[in-house]
Chain A
Amino acid sequence: MDRRVAVIGIGTTGFRAASPEVSYREMIYEAAVKAYSDAGLAPDQIGSFIACSEDISEGTSIFDEYCPDQIGGARRPVHSVSGDGLHGIITAAMNIQTGLFETALVECHSKVSNCIDPVEIMNYALDPIYNRPLGEHPEFIAGLEMRRYLYESKAQPKDCAAVVQKNRAHALKNPWAAYPANLELEEIQDSPATFDPLREIDRAHHADGASVVILASADWVKKNRVKNPVWVKGMGWISEDPGLEMRPWGRSIATQKAAKMAYKQAGIRSPRSEIDFAEVDDTYSYKELQHLEDLWFFPLGGAAKAVRSGLTRSDGKFPVNVSGGCLGMGNAAEASGLQRVLEIVTQLRGEAGVRQLKRVRQAVAQSWRGIPTTSCAVAVLSKGVNS
C-alpha cells in the first residue's frame, strides 16, 4: 500500500486582531468553503474530519461538540485533538495511512479576541500546586527560558530584536497577516522589558482567524490527477516534561526529537542543505532562534548569526517565516500551526505572489504548544515525491 499523503486543498480567512462581524461558526465556514473550493471537493468526499481546539480558549466545555457543522462534518467521523494545527495534520495523515480513509480535513481557528483575559487562560495552564500559587504573570516562563537560552547560545537580545524586525517586515507582503510593520532595530531594542530579558515586543500578539487543510492519499491524488499536491514526507511530534522543574531550559529537546523523527521518515540527512525554507514557531522572538537550532539547521548560537547576517530573511539563502510568523501574522493559537502548512503549500505551489520564494521544493513546519508546555510537532512538506 502506498502510504504517502498529500495536501490537496487549503483555505484561510487570514488573521486579524479581532473579528467582531462573524461568529466562530461563520469564520470557520468561510475557511472551509475556500478549502473545499481549492481542493475541488464537496464535504461528502471527505473521509475523516479533525478539529484542533482547547475548551478554555473557546469558553465552552467539550468544545468538540461545536466542530462538525461549519466544516461539513455533521453525521460524519469527526474528532477533536487538543493539539496544534500540525498535530491535526499528523492525525489526518495517520487516518489516511490506515487505509480506512482516502481524504481527511483539518480545521483550526482562534477567537481569542473573545477571551476577556487571555493571560488568565494561560495562567490556568500552570501547575496548580507548584507554580500557579505564586500568582505571577505566566509569561515569566518565557523570561526564564529566554535568559537561559541566551546564556547557552551566547545570542544577544538584539538578535531577538532582529527576529522581530524580520518577521514583522515579512508580514508586510502577506495579506493574511495582522501585524505587519516596518520597525527599526533600535525601537525594538528600546521597547520596555516585561519579564526581563523578554520585552513586550518580543511576544507575538493574539489574532483571530480560521484555517482549513484537506489531505488525500497518494492513490486518490493519482486517481483524481491532482495537479499540485504537496506531500507530507515526514512527521514528528514529541512531548517532554510538562513540569517546569525537571526540564532543561536552554534547548527544546522535544523539537530536536520530533525533527529527527520527521527527517528520518523523509529520508533527510542534512536538513540545512535539503530544506529550502522553514516556518517555525516564533511565539516569542527567541523561540525562532532556539527552534531553528533544535531543528538541526544551525549549531547552538548559529541561528543568531544567521538572523544577523540576513540569511533567514525572505531574500536570504534560508528564508524563515516568510509568512511573517506569529510575530507578523499574529498568534492564532492552534491555527498558527496550520497556517505554517498553508504558507508552505502556497510557496511550493508558486502561488505566494509578492512574497513568492524562488526555486523552493521542500520545507519544514514546526510548532510549539506554548506556555507552559514542551510539546512540539514537525512536518516536512515537499513538492515532489522524491525531492
Chain B
Amino acid sequence: MGVLEKITSNQELRSWPGEIPLENLYTMGLAGERFFRGIKDEAKLLGTRCKTCDVTYLPPRIYCQGCFEKLVNWVDLPPQGKLETFTILNQDRAGRPYKTPRILGLVRIDRSEGALIHYIQGLEPQKIRIGMKLKAQFRSSSERKGSIQDIVGFVPA
C-alpha cells in the first residue's frame, strides 16, 4: 500500500475548493488623478509631454519611459483621433453571447503618441475602417465620476 501507486478510480479523485478572498483599491496616481479630473471637470483629455524624446503620453505619465525624465509639461489634447485597430466582441467576460455585438477600438489620439481603448458607437461593423477619424463622446458632467467610463465611446468625427 504505497504512495507510488496512483489513483485508478475516478471515484477517488478529489479537489479542495478555495479562493483568494480580497478586494483591491487603486488610486489613479499622480498622473491619473490629473487626467481624470480633466475628464470629470472639463471633459478634456490631458497628456504629458517629453520634449527631449518628442513624445506625448496619453494616458499621461509622470515619467518618460524612454529617457526617464520627470514630465511636468501638461498639454490639452483634442478628444479625437484615428482608429488604429478594432475588434467585434461577440461574447461577454463569462463567454455568454452578446445579442448585439460590441465594438472596441484603439483610437490613436491626435497630437500624441498615445491612444484610448473604448467602444465605437454609431457605426455598423462593416462600415468601420482602420484609419477613420473618430471623436470621444463624454457623459454629461453630472454623470462623470472621474473614470474611464466617463467616456461613453468614440463616434465618427
Give me the interface of A with B, judged by CB distance under 8 Å: 20-22, 56, 59, 61, 114, 119-120, 123, 128-131, 133-138, 140, 143-148, 151, 192-198, 241, 243-246, 249
Contact = CB atoms under 8 A, between A and B. Distances in A.
A345 to B, nearest CB: 27
B58 A137 contact: no
B90 A131 contact: no
B87 A198 contact: yes
Contacts of B32: 129
Contacts of B18: 59
Size category of the B interface is 35 or more
A246 to B, nearest CB: 5
Contacts of B105: 144
A114 B104 CA distance: 31
A339 to B, nearest CB: 23
B155 interface: no
A237 B94 CA distance: 33
Contact of A193 (B7, B10, B88, B104): B88
A246 B92 contact: no
A119 B84 contact: no
B129 to A, nearest CB: 10
A128 B84 contact: no
Interface string B53-96: 00001110000010000000000000000001111111111110
Contact of B85 (A128, A147, A241): A147
B66 to A, nearest CB: 10
Interface of B: 6-7, 10, 13, 15, 18-20, 24, 26, 28-29, 32, 57-59, 65, 84-95, 101-102, 104-106, 113-119, 125, 130, 147-149
A245 B84 contact: no
21 contacts: A20-B13, A21-B6, A56-B20, A61-B20, A123-B93, A128-B24, A129-B28, A130-B148, A134-B104, A134-B148, A134-B149, A135-B93, A140-B87, A143-B87, A143-B104, A144-B86, A147-B85, A245-B116, A246-B58, A246-B113, A246-B115
The 4 residue pairs across chains A and B that have the minimum distance between CB atoms? A143-B87, A148-B85, A196-B88, A21-B7
A130 B93 contact: no
Nearest to A142: B87
A36 to B, nearest CB: 17
Contact of B87 (A61, A129, A147, A151): A147
A133 B10 CA distance: 41
